[in-house]
Protein backbone atom coordinates (compact mmCIF):
# COMPACT_ATOMS: atom_id res chain seq x y z
CA UNK A 1 0.00 0.00 0.00
CA UNK A 2 2.77 2.40 0.96
CA UNK A 3 4.65 1.94 -2.31
CA UNK A 4 1.46 2.19 -4.37
CA UNK A 5 0.48 5.41 -2.61
CA UNK A 6 3.94 6.83 -3.06
CA UNK A 7 3.81 6.11 -6.78
CA UNK A 8 0.34 7.64 -7.11
CA UNK A 9 1.10 10.77 -5.15
CA UNK A 10 4.73 11.43 -6.06
CA UNK A 11 5.51 15.07 -6.75
CA UNK A 12 5.21 15.94 -10.41
CA UNK A 13 6.61 18.82 -12.44
CA UNK A 14 4.20 21.36 -13.88
CA UNK A 15 2.44 20.47 -17.10
CA UNK A 16 4.30 21.10 -20.33
CA UNK A 17 2.26 22.79 -23.07
CA UNK A 18 2.82 19.90 -25.45
CA UNK A 19 1.12 17.55 -22.99
CA UNK A 20 -2.29 19.19 -23.25
CA UNK A 21 -2.32 20.68 -26.71
CA UNK A 22 -5.40 19.85 -28.78
CA UNK A 23 -5.43 16.61 -30.69
CA UNK A 24 -3.74 14.43 -28.10
CA UNK A 25 -4.97 10.85 -28.39
CA UNK A 26 -7.65 10.06 -25.82
CA UNK A 27 -6.49 7.33 -23.49
CA UNK A 28 -9.00 4.84 -22.23
CA UNK A 29 -9.47 5.43 -18.49
CA UNK A 30 -8.21 2.11 -17.27
CA UNK A 31 -8.51 1.42 -13.58
CA UNK A 32 -5.68 0.59 -11.24
CA UNK A 33 -6.62 -1.08 -7.98
CA UNK A 34 -4.84 -0.64 -4.68
CA UNK A 35 -5.78 -3.07 -1.88
CA UNK A 36 -5.11 -2.24 1.75
CA UNK A 37 -4.60 -5.91 2.62
CA UNK A 38 -4.75 -8.36 -0.30
CA UNK A 39 -4.99 -11.40 2.02
CA UNK A 40 -8.30 -10.24 3.52
CA UNK A 41 -11.39 -10.96 1.41
CA UNK A 42 -13.14 -7.79 2.61
CA UNK A 43 -10.16 -5.53 1.86
CA UNK A 44 -10.95 -1.93 0.93
CA UNK A 45 -10.59 -1.28 -2.79
CA UNK A 46 -9.54 2.19 -3.92
CA UNK A 47 -9.88 3.17 -7.55
CA UNK A 48 -7.26 5.49 -8.99
CA UNK A 49 -7.65 7.22 -12.33
CA UNK A 50 -5.07 6.27 -14.95
CA UNK A 51 -4.65 10.03 -15.36
CA UNK A 52 -3.39 10.50 -11.76
CA UNK A 53 0.06 11.87 -12.66
CA UNK A 54 -1.36 14.16 -15.32
CA UNK A 55 -4.06 15.45 -12.98
CA UNK A 56 -1.42 16.42 -10.40
CA UNK A 57 0.64 18.19 -13.08
CA UNK A 58 -2.38 20.07 -14.44
CA UNK A 59 -3.47 21.22 -10.97
CA UNK A 60 0.06 22.42 -10.19
CA UNK A 61 0.21 24.31 -13.49
CA UNK A 62 -3.04 26.14 -12.81
CA UNK A 63 -1.92 26.82 -9.22
CA UNK A 64 1.41 28.34 -10.28
CA UNK A 65 2.90 31.39 -8.48
CA UNK A 66 1.40 34.77 -9.32
CA UNK A 67 -1.29 33.34 -11.59
CA UNK A 68 -4.99 32.59 -11.33
CA UNK A 69 -8.05 31.72 -13.40
CA UNK A 70 -10.09 33.85 -15.80
CA UNK A 71 -13.67 32.60 -15.50
CA UNK A 72 -15.29 33.29 -18.89
CA UNK A 73 -17.74 30.41 -18.84
CA UNK A 74 -20.95 32.43 -18.69
CA UNK A 75 -23.82 30.60 -20.36
CA UNK A 76 -25.10 32.16 -23.58
CA UNK A 77 -28.03 33.64 -21.64
CA UNK A 78 -25.76 35.22 -19.01
CA UNK A 79 -23.32 36.40 -21.67
CA UNK A 80 -26.35 38.03 -23.30
CA UNK A 81 -27.00 40.00 -20.11
CA UNK A 82 -23.40 41.22 -20.11
CA UNK A 83 -23.69 42.27 -23.76
CA UNK A 84 -27.06 43.95 -23.11
CA UNK A 85 -25.41 46.08 -20.40
CA UNK A 86 -23.35 47.75 -23.16
CA UNK A 87 -26.20 47.83 -25.67
CA UNK A 88 -25.24 44.80 -27.76
CA UNK A 89 -27.54 42.10 -29.08
CA UNK A 90 -26.98 38.54 -27.86
CA UNK A 91 -25.76 36.93 -31.09
CA UNK A 92 -23.08 34.31 -31.62
CA UNK A 93 -21.04 36.87 -33.56
CA UNK A 94 -21.08 39.33 -30.64
CA UNK A 95 -20.24 36.61 -28.12
CA UNK A 96 -17.39 35.50 -30.39
CA UNK A 97 -16.09 39.08 -30.66
CA UNK A 98 -16.07 39.52 -26.88
CA UNK A 99 -14.45 36.16 -26.17
CA UNK A 100 -11.85 36.87 -28.86
CA UNK A 101 -11.03 40.14 -27.10
CA UNK A 102 -10.51 38.29 -23.80
CA UNK A 103 -8.26 35.45 -24.98
CA UNK A 104 -6.05 37.52 -27.30
CA UNK A 105 -4.84 40.02 -24.68
CA UNK A 106 -1.06 40.21 -25.27
CA UNK A 107 0.86 38.76 -22.33
CA UNK A 108 -2.24 37.52 -20.50
CA UNK A 109 -0.56 34.18 -19.69
CA UNK A 110 1.89 35.95 -17.41
CA UNK A 111 -0.94 36.46 -14.89
CA UNK A 112 -3.59 33.94 -15.95
CA UNK A 113 -2.89 30.19 -15.74
CA UNK A 114 -6.32 28.84 -16.70
CA UNK A 115 -9.46 29.98 -18.49
CA UNK A 116 -12.87 28.39 -17.86
CA UNK A 117 -14.91 28.21 -21.05
CA UNK A 118 -18.55 27.60 -21.89
CA UNK A 119 -19.13 24.65 -24.25
CA UNK A 120 -19.75 26.97 -27.23
CA UNK A 121 -16.37 28.64 -26.64
CA UNK A 122 -14.50 25.33 -26.38
CA UNK A 123 -15.41 24.60 -30.00
CA UNK A 124 -15.35 28.22 -31.20
CA UNK A 125 -12.78 30.12 -33.23
CA UNK A 126 -11.71 33.76 -32.87
CA UNK A 127 -12.94 36.36 -35.36
CA UNK A 128 -9.68 35.70 -37.24
CA UNK A 129 -10.54 32.00 -37.62
CA UNK A 130 -8.08 30.61 -35.07
CA UNK A 131 -9.36 28.04 -32.59
CA UNK A 132 -9.80 29.64 -29.16
CA UNK A 133 -8.25 26.54 -27.55
CA UNK A 134 -5.10 27.03 -29.64
CA UNK A 135 -4.89 30.73 -28.73
CA UNK A 136 -5.02 29.85 -25.02
CA UNK A 137 -2.34 27.16 -25.36
CA UNK A 138 -0.04 29.63 -27.14
CA UNK A 139 -0.57 32.03 -24.22
CA UNK A 140 0.46 29.21 -21.81
CA UNK A 141 -3.08 29.18 -20.38
CA UNK A 142 -4.70 25.82 -19.57
CA UNK A 143 -8.21 25.52 -21.10
CA UNK A 144 -11.04 24.50 -18.76
CA UNK A 145 -14.71 23.77 -19.30
CA UNK A 146 -17.96 24.39 -17.39
CA UNK A 147 -19.69 20.99 -17.21
CA UNK A 148 -22.73 21.51 -14.98
CA UNK A 149 -26.17 22.06 -16.50
CA UNK A 150 -27.32 24.78 -14.14
CA UNK A 151 -29.41 25.13 -11.02
CA UNK A 152 -32.97 23.85 -10.63
CA UNK A 153 -35.40 23.84 -7.66
CA UNK A 154 -34.66 21.15 -5.05
CA UNK A 155 -37.90 19.33 -4.20
CA UNK A 156 -38.47 18.94 -0.47
CA UNK A 157 -36.23 21.84 0.47
CA UNK A 158 -36.81 25.38 1.72
CA UNK A 159 -37.02 26.89 -1.78
CA UNK A 160 -33.38 25.90 -2.41
CA UNK A 161 -31.52 24.67 -5.51
CA UNK A 162 -29.51 21.70 -6.69
CA UNK A 163 -27.13 21.48 -9.61
CA UNK A 164 -27.91 19.13 -12.49
CA UNK A 165 -25.53 17.63 -15.05
CA UNK A 166 -24.34 14.21 -13.83
CA UNK A 167 -26.28 12.33 -16.55
CA UNK A 168 -23.95 11.78 -19.49
CA UNK A 169 -21.07 13.55 -17.72
CA UNK A 170 -18.57 10.74 -18.34
CA UNK A 171 -18.98 10.87 -22.12
CA UNK A 172 -19.03 14.68 -22.15
CA UNK A 173 -15.83 15.01 -20.09
CA UNK A 174 -14.10 12.46 -22.34
CA UNK A 175 -15.08 14.53 -25.39
CA UNK A 176 -13.94 17.77 -23.73
CA UNK A 177 -10.56 16.20 -22.94
CA UNK A 178 -10.24 15.18 -26.59
CA UNK A 179 -11.02 18.76 -27.62
CA UNK A 180 -8.19 20.07 -25.42
CA UNK A 181 -9.78 20.91 -22.05
CA UNK A 182 -7.72 19.86 -19.03
CA UNK A 183 -9.85 20.99 -16.10
CA UNK A 184 -13.56 21.29 -15.35
CA UNK A 185 -15.89 23.42 -13.26
CA UNK A 186 -19.17 22.62 -11.50
CA UNK A 187 -20.95 25.40 -9.59
CA UNK A 188 -23.54 24.60 -6.97
CA UNK A 189 -24.87 27.10 -4.46
CA UNK A 190 -25.92 27.25 -0.82
CA UNK A 191 -28.28 30.00 0.39
CA UNK A 192 -28.01 31.19 3.99
CA UNK A 193 -31.35 33.09 4.10
CA UNK A 194 -33.10 29.85 3.04
CA UNK A 195 -31.55 27.76 5.80
CA UNK A 196 -29.54 26.18 4.46
CA UNK A 197 -31.34 22.88 4.96
CA UNK A 198 -29.38 19.69 5.69
CA UNK A 199 -30.89 18.28 2.48
CA UNK A 200 -29.53 21.13 0.33
CA UNK A 201 -26.05 20.91 1.86
CA UNK A 202 -25.89 17.13 1.42
CA UNK A 203 -27.13 17.34 -2.18
CA UNK A 204 -24.57 20.03 -3.01
CA UNK A 205 -21.70 18.03 -1.46
CA UNK A 206 -22.69 14.71 -3.04
CA UNK A 207 -23.16 16.24 -6.49
CA UNK A 208 -19.76 17.91 -6.33
CA UNK A 209 -18.11 14.66 -5.24
CA UNK A 210 -19.67 12.59 -8.04
CA UNK A 211 -18.73 15.24 -10.60
CA UNK A 212 -15.16 15.35 -9.26
CA UNK A 213 -14.72 11.56 -9.45
CA UNK A 214 -16.14 11.38 -13.00
CA UNK A 215 -13.99 14.29 -14.18
CA UNK A 216 -10.80 12.78 -12.80
CA UNK A 217 -11.68 9.46 -14.42
CA UNK A 218 -11.63 11.24 -17.78
CA UNK A 219 -8.48 13.33 -17.34
CA UNK A 220 -9.97 16.63 -16.16
CA UNK A 221 -8.96 18.35 -12.90
CA UNK A 222 -12.26 19.22 -11.18
CA UNK A 223 -12.77 22.66 -9.72
CA UNK A 224 -14.94 22.04 -6.67
CA UNK A 225 -17.23 25.05 -6.18
CA UNK A 226 -19.92 25.14 -3.50
CA UNK A 227 -20.69 28.85 -3.60
CA UNK A 228 -22.18 30.24 -0.41
CA UNK A 229 -24.22 33.09 -1.84
CA UNK A 230 -23.67 36.66 -0.63
CA UNK A 231 -27.46 37.18 -0.48
CA UNK A 232 -28.76 37.99 3.01
CA UNK A 233 -28.53 40.24 6.06
CA UNK A 234 -26.48 37.80 8.16
CA UNK A 235 -23.19 38.66 9.82
CA UNK A 236 -19.76 37.18 9.10
CA UNK A 237 -19.99 34.68 12.00
CA UNK A 238 -23.08 33.09 10.47
CA UNK A 239 -21.30 32.77 7.12
CA UNK A 240 -18.37 31.09 8.88
CA UNK A 241 -20.69 28.66 10.69
CA UNK A 242 -22.45 27.63 7.45
CA UNK A 243 -19.18 27.38 5.51
CA UNK A 244 -17.69 25.03 8.12
CA UNK A 245 -20.68 22.72 7.76
CA UNK A 246 -20.67 22.84 3.95
CA UNK A 247 -16.94 22.16 3.63
CA UNK A 248 -17.07 19.29 6.14
CA UNK A 249 -19.74 17.59 4.00
CA UNK A 250 -17.91 18.32 0.75
CA UNK A 251 -14.65 16.72 1.88
CA UNK A 252 -16.43 13.78 3.49
CA UNK A 253 -18.10 12.91 0.18
CA UNK A 254 -14.97 13.64 -1.88
CA UNK A 255 -13.20 11.04 0.25
CA UNK A 256 -16.15 8.62 -0.04
CA UNK A 257 -15.85 8.88 -3.83
CA UNK A 258 -12.07 8.26 -3.78
CA UNK A 259 -11.27 11.63 -5.32
CA UNK A 260 -7.54 12.35 -5.55
CA UNK A 261 -7.08 15.51 -3.47
CA UNK A 262 -3.77 16.35 -5.18
CA UNK A 263 -5.68 16.50 -8.47
CA UNK A 264 -8.46 18.96 -7.59
CA UNK A 265 -8.76 22.73 -7.22
CA UNK A 266 -11.18 24.50 -4.89
CA UNK A 267 -13.26 27.55 -5.77
CA UNK A 268 -14.78 28.69 -2.48
CA UNK A 269 -16.53 31.88 -1.46
CA UNK A 270 -14.61 34.17 0.83
CA UNK A 271 -16.09 34.40 4.32
CA UNK A 272 -17.89 37.77 4.36
CA UNK A 273 -21.08 39.20 5.87
CA UNK A 274 -24.24 38.99 3.76
CA UNK A 275 -24.50 41.66 1.06
CA UNK A 276 -27.38 43.36 2.90
CA UNK A 277 -25.68 43.31 6.31
CA UNK A 278 -25.37 46.77 7.85
CA UNK A 279 -21.60 46.54 8.31
CA UNK A 280 -18.92 45.67 5.78
CA UNK A 281 -15.92 43.59 6.78
CA UNK A 282 -12.38 44.87 6.27
CA UNK A 283 -9.96 42.86 4.10
CA UNK A 284 -8.15 41.87 7.30
CA UNK A 285 -11.36 40.47 8.82
CA UNK A 286 -12.23 38.60 5.63
CA UNK A 287 -8.72 37.12 5.52
CA UNK A 288 -8.79 36.10 9.19
CA UNK A 289 -12.15 34.33 8.96
CA UNK A 290 -11.47 32.76 5.57
CA UNK A 291 -8.02 31.43 6.42
CA UNK A 292 -9.34 30.08 9.71
CA UNK A 293 -11.99 28.17 7.75
CA UNK A 294 -9.44 26.83 5.26
CA UNK A 295 -7.09 25.65 8.00
CA UNK A 296 -9.92 23.79 9.75
CA UNK A 297 -11.36 22.15 6.65
CA UNK A 298 -8.95 21.93 3.68
CA UNK A 299 -6.19 19.26 3.63
CA UNK A 300 -2.77 20.61 2.62
CA UNK A 301 -2.73 17.97 -0.14
CA UNK A 302 -5.04 20.24 -2.15
CA UNK A 303 -2.77 22.30 -4.43
CA UNK A 304 -4.83 25.42 -5.04
CA UNK A 305 -7.61 27.55 -3.55
CA UNK A 306 -8.98 29.72 -6.37
CA UNK A 307 -11.47 32.11 -4.79
CA UNK A 308 -14.63 33.26 -6.52
CA UNK A 309 -15.48 36.96 -6.33
CA UNK A 310 -19.24 36.42 -5.91
CA UNK A 311 -20.30 39.99 -6.71
CA UNK A 312 -17.57 41.86 -4.84
CA UNK A 313 -16.23 44.91 -6.66
CA UNK A 314 -13.05 44.42 -8.66
CA UNK A 315 -10.95 46.28 -6.09
CA UNK A 316 -12.62 44.62 -3.07
CA UNK A 317 -11.95 41.12 -4.45
CA UNK A 318 -8.29 42.00 -5.04
CA UNK A 319 -7.81 43.62 -1.61
CA UNK A 320 -9.31 40.59 0.15
CA UNK A 321 -7.08 38.18 -1.81
CA UNK A 322 -4.05 40.31 -1.00
CA UNK A 323 -4.87 40.21 2.72
CA UNK A 324 -4.95 36.41 2.63
CA UNK A 325 -1.44 36.28 1.18
CA UNK A 326 0.35 38.32 3.83
CA UNK A 327 1.91 35.16 5.26
CA UNK A 328 2.68 31.73 3.77
CA UNK A 329 -0.22 29.30 3.27
CA UNK A 330 -0.19 25.49 2.86
CA UNK A 331 -1.96 25.93 -0.48
CA UNK A 332 -1.65 28.28 -3.48
CA UNK A 333 -4.25 30.95 -2.56
CA UNK A 334 -5.36 32.74 -5.69
CA UNK A 335 -8.35 33.80 -7.79
CA UNK A 336 -10.92 32.50 -10.25
CA UNK A 337 -12.81 35.67 -11.09
CA UNK A 338 -15.38 36.46 -13.75
CA UNK A 339 -17.05 39.82 -13.11
CA UNK A 340 -14.15 40.99 -10.90
CA UNK A 341 -11.78 40.62 -13.88
CA UNK A 342 -14.12 41.52 -16.75
CA UNK A 343 -16.28 44.43 -15.56
CA UNK A 344 -14.08 47.41 -16.48
CA UNK A 345 -12.89 45.59 -19.61
CA UNK A 346 -16.47 45.08 -20.84
CA UNK A 347 -17.50 48.68 -20.11
CA UNK A 348 -14.36 50.01 -21.84
CA UNK A 349 -15.01 47.93 -24.96
CA UNK A 350 -18.67 48.91 -25.36
CA UNK A 351 -18.87 46.74 -28.46
CA UNK A 352 -16.70 49.11 -30.52
CA UNK A 353 -13.75 47.72 -32.51
CA UNK A 354 -11.73 50.89 -31.91
CA UNK A 355 -11.92 50.25 -28.13
CA UNK A 356 -10.56 46.69 -28.22
CA UNK A 357 -6.99 47.65 -27.35
CA UNK A 358 -8.07 49.83 -24.39
CA UNK A 359 -10.41 47.09 -23.15
CA UNK A 360 -7.63 44.51 -23.34
CA UNK A 361 -5.37 46.84 -21.39
CA UNK A 362 -8.10 47.13 -18.72
CA UNK A 363 -8.26 43.33 -18.40
CA UNK A 364 -4.46 43.10 -18.17
CA UNK A 365 -4.45 45.73 -15.40
CA UNK A 366 -6.93 43.66 -13.38
CA UNK A 367 -5.07 40.41 -14.03
CA UNK A 368 -1.79 42.01 -12.94
CA UNK A 369 -3.41 43.49 -9.81
CA UNK A 370 -4.64 40.03 -8.77
CA UNK A 371 -1.25 38.52 -9.60
CA UNK A 372 0.32 41.01 -7.19
CA UNK A 373 -2.37 40.08 -4.63
CA UNK A 374 -1.42 36.41 -5.00
CA UNK A 375 2.07 37.44 -3.90
CA UNK A 376 0.62 39.68 -1.17
CA UNK A 377 2.04 42.82 -2.82
CA UNK A 378 -1.05 44.67 -4.08
CA UNK A 379 -1.44 48.26 -2.79
CA UNK A 380 -4.72 49.41 -4.38
CA UNK A 381 -3.17 52.64 -5.63
CA UNK A 382 -4.41 54.27 -8.83
CA UNK A 383 -7.61 52.22 -9.18
CA UNK A 384 -10.46 53.65 -11.27
CA UNK A 385 -13.93 54.42 -9.93
CA UNK A 386 -15.38 51.73 -12.23
CA UNK A 387 -13.17 49.13 -10.54
CA UNK A 388 -14.65 50.09 -7.15
CA UNK A 389 -18.29 49.62 -8.20
CA UNK A 390 -20.34 46.97 -6.40
CA UNK A 391 -21.08 44.00 -8.70
CA UNK A 392 -23.50 42.11 -6.44
CA UNK A 393 -26.67 40.82 -8.12
CA UNK A 394 -29.35 39.28 -5.88
CA UNK A 395 -30.07 35.65 -6.79
CA UNK A 396 -27.27 35.67 -9.39
CA UNK A 397 -27.50 32.93 -12.02
CA UNK A 398 -24.49 31.98 -14.13
Nearest C-alpha neighbor of 277 from the set 238, 307, 315, 317:
238
Give Dmax over CA atoms of the chain in angstroms: 71
327 three-state secondary structure: coil
State yes or no: cis peptide before 196, omega within 30 of 0: yes
Distance CA 349, CA 98 (A): 9
Distance CA 268, CA 271 (A): 9
Nearest C-alpha neighbor of 234 from the set 289, 313, 287:
289
Instruction: List, in sequence order, every residue forming a beta bridge with 106; answer none if it has no partner.
Output: none
Distance CA 118, CA 76 (A): 8
Strands 161-163 and 183-190: unpaired
Active site positions, annotated? 225, 267
212: exposed, middle or buried (C-beta count within 10 Å: 0-12, 13-18, 19+)?
buried
Vertex 123 angle, CA 117 and 124, to 5°: 85
Q: Are 209 and 229 in contact (CB under 8 A)?
A: no
Q: Are 286 and 339 in contact (CB under 8 A)?
A: no
Distance CA 7, CA 5 (A): 5
Amino acid sequence: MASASATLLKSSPVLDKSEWIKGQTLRQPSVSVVRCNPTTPSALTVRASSYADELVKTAKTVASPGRGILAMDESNATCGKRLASIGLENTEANRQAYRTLLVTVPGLGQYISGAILFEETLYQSTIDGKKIIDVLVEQNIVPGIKVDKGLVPLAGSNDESWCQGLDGLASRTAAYYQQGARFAKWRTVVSIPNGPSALAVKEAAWGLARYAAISQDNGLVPIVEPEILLDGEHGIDRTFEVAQKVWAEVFFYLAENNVLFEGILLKPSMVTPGAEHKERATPQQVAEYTLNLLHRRIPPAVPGIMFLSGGQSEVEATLNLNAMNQSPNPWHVSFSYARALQNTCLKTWGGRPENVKAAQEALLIRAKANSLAQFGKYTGEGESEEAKKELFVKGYVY
